Amino acid sequence: MRKVLLAASEAVPFIKTGGLADVVGALPKYLDKEEYDVRVILPKYACMDASFLPQLRFVCHFYVNLNWRKQYAGIFETEYRGIKFYFVDNEFYFAGPSPYHNIYEDVEKFAYFSKAVLGCLPYLDFVPDVIHCNDWQTGLIPVFLRTAFGDDRFYAGIRTVFSIHNMQFQGRWRIKEVMDITGLPAGIFSATGLESYGEANYLKGGVVYADAVTTVSPTYARDIMTVEGGEGLSGLMCAKRNRLYGILNGIDYEEFNPQTDPYIHVNYTHKDAQVGKKRNKAALQKELGLPVRDDVPMIGIVSRMTAQKGFELIDYAMEELLNTLDIQVVVLGTGEDKYENSFRYFQAKYPRQVCAHIGYSEEQAHKVYASADVLLMPSQFEPCGLSQMIAMRYGTLPIVRETGGLKDTVEPYNEYENTGNGFSFANFYAQDMMHVIQYAYEVYQEHKDEWMKLQLRAMEKNFSWSSSVKKYEELYDKLCDQ
């Protein structure tokens, strides 16, 4: 039995700000339980879902040395759907209303978390063969493993995987302060180690020190080796190409299933999707105060409101789209003020066409996936993207830009060959996006049969974890056998 410990800063159902939480919550469920004992370790945030607190059991406590600081660490555990989750407790670091705050606080918080993950292992009945780290928040785990813990035989056999979910967030801060926080020797902060453009870079640490590096789609693995997509680290990624793997995320078929989804108005399958979606749409229109009409296509957006997700294009195109097409736009998201405010404005100006829910709501997200006809996701870059896959499972056709995981999951409609499961455009231009929205509008209005076939193909495409978990299993095996 191989032992794998997944370390991350968020996981469903305990704490979620984005797709990382979905992935960390789902991947362990789908790995082969006969072959792999997979457990997850997270921070015990004050803002985690409080309904789980009574179930947490105290396991042990110890102290983490961060240079001159000596910080308490408590370990709690619980089981959720057959998976053991550990939580690192420290109320100084993990207080506050969200997992992430200012970067200068976060670099200390996650240095502490990374060291605590390694420090707790002698106290658990579980010595992992592989620690699977995720994003910059856990980038120092491979670094500490080979430095601070490098002489300790207890840790000698542990291998590490570092997964990049988003290259844009690297955990960068002043070298002097990171040295003070971590106690890592000055030699580590060099061009071959943690240093990047004069700063300490946690993501780079993960990439340099881990035994294998993955990212969340094959196209994004190629994108980050280019100057345009590499966020300053394309040279490093090219140098590591022999141990860089692009493994496409799946979605959790138990969580996102229109047949059983408890949040939506009416459940449905691919067999009765036409009726099911129509009834969900009517219920949502009524709930949101939009005119209840089936003949008007509803465009849904469920997204963090950031430049990454293409809000520049959406902002630019909205007025023209609303003035020229008979459409409804339903937005659910939070993020940068300028995007939130522009949607408040569109809603005020076009109340019969736009509904903006500025906030975070799992229930509302499921309702939009089930009710909309189209999901708009014109990302500037997209490591994988889960929303487009969730939408397809609900028979909602994605309109995406061809980048990263969007390119790997959405096959554009080809009216001559009768293929495809969505719509896409290549260049990051608002006009190109508008053309493809107009095209989708035409297909929706004038070629109902084709639209239904597209929906069916989208719903039947397999976006479960079944094939991707095998790739992670192969990678874990390869590292253990080395």
Q: d(Cα 319, Cα 313) in Å, to the nearest integer?
A: 11
Least distance (Å) between residue 127 CB and ligand GLC: 27
Q: Does 440 bind ligand GLC (CB under 6 A)?
A: no
Least distance (Å) between residue 193 CB and ligand ADP: 28
Q: Does 333 bind ligand ADP (CB under 6 A)?
A: yes
Least distance (Å) between residue 134 CB and ligand GLC: 8
Least distance (Å) between residue 260 CB and ligand ADP: 17
Dihedral sign computed on CA atoms, order 374, 379, 385, 386: negative
**Do the beta carbons of residue 157 and residue 146 sit within 8 Å?**
no
Nearer to ligand GLC, 163 or 285 (CB): 163
Least distance (Å) between residue 133 CB and ligand ADP: 17
Show the DSSP H helices in 155-272 as ranges. 175-182, 202-209, 218-223, 234-239
Nearer to ligand GLC, 201 or 388 (CB): 388
Task: Pick one of 206, 383, 395, 412: the residue that binds ligand GLC (CB under 6 A).
Answer: 383
Q: d(Cα 38, Cα 33) in Å, to the nearest integer?
A: 8
Q: Does 334 bind ligand ADP (CB under 6 A)?
A: yes
Residue ranges in 22-41 that form contacts with ligand GLC under rule CB under 6 A: 23
Least distance (Å) between residue 7 CB and ligand GLC: 15
Task: Pick one of 16, 19, 30, 43: the residue that binds ligand GLC (CB under 6 A).
Answer: 19
Q: Select from 94-102, 121-129, 379-387, 433-441 the region that touches ligand GLC (CB under 6 A).
A: 379-387
**Cα 169–170–171 angle (5° rounding)?**
105
Q: Which residues pair with 60 in a beta bridge?
A: 75
Q: Which of 417, 413, 416 is nearest to 452 (CA)?
A: 413
Paired tokens of 76: 């709690």
Q: Select from 109-117, 121-129, 282-290, 360-368 the region that touches ligand ADP (CB under 6 A).
A: 360-368
Q: Which residues contact 470 (CB under 8 A, 6 or more apart)?
A: none
Q: Residues 335-374: x/- map of binding to ligand GLC (CB under 6 A)?
A: ----------------------------------------
Q: Select from 121-129, 138-146, 264-272, 378-386 the region that touches ligand GLC (CB under 6 A).
A: 378-386
Q: d(Cα 167, Cα 135) in Å, to the nearest integer?
A: 8
First to last CA, the chain: 16
Q: Does 380 bind ligand ADP (CB under 6 A)?
A: no
Task: Pick one of 77, 106, 382, 408: the residue that binds ligand GLC (CB under 6 A).
Answer: 382
Q: d(Cα 318, Cα 462) in Å, to the nearest integer?
A: 32
Residue ranges in 301-320 that form contacts with ligand ADP under rule CB under 6 A: 302-304
Which 3 state secondary structure label does DSSP give 262? coil
Residue 39 touches which of ligand ADP, ligand GLC, none (Cβ within 5-8 Å per kind): none
* 13 upstream amide cis, omega within 30 of 0: yes
H or E element that contains 197: none
The packing angle between helices 175-182 and 103-119, to 10°, is 30
Task: Pick one of 137, 166, 285, 353: the residue that binds ligand GLC (CB under 6 A).
Answer: 166
Q: With contacts defined by CB under 6 A, how many residues of the chain interact with ligand ADP?
A: 19
**Do strands 159-164 and 195-196 pair parallel, antiparallel, or not at all (unpaired)?**
unpaired
Nearer to ligand GLC, 224 or 386 (CB): 386
Dihedral sign computed on CA atoms, order 20, 26, 30, 31: positive
**Do the beta carbons of residue 368 and residue 332 sit within 8 Å?**
yes
DSSP per-residue codes, 114-146? HHHHHHTGGGSS---SEEEEESGGGTHHHHHHH
Task: Pick one of 301, 386, 391, 440: the residue that binds ligand GLC (CB under 6 A).
Answer: 386
Q: Does 19 bind ligand ADP (CB under 6 A)?
A: yes
Q: d(Cα 170, Cα 135) in Å, to the nearest integer?
A: 8
Nearer to ligand ADP, 289 or 359 (CB): 359
| Longest pairwise C-alpha distance within the chain | 70
Least distance (Å) between residue 461 CB and ligand GLC: 17
Q: Does 20 bind ligand GLC (CB under 6 A)?
A: yes
Nearer to ligand ADP, 244 or 384 (CB): 384
Which residues are near ligand ADP by CB under 6 A? 18-20, 22, 302-304, 332-334, 360-362, 365, 384-387, 390
Which residues are near ligand GLC by CB under 6 A? 18-20, 23, 165-166, 216, 249, 382-386, 405
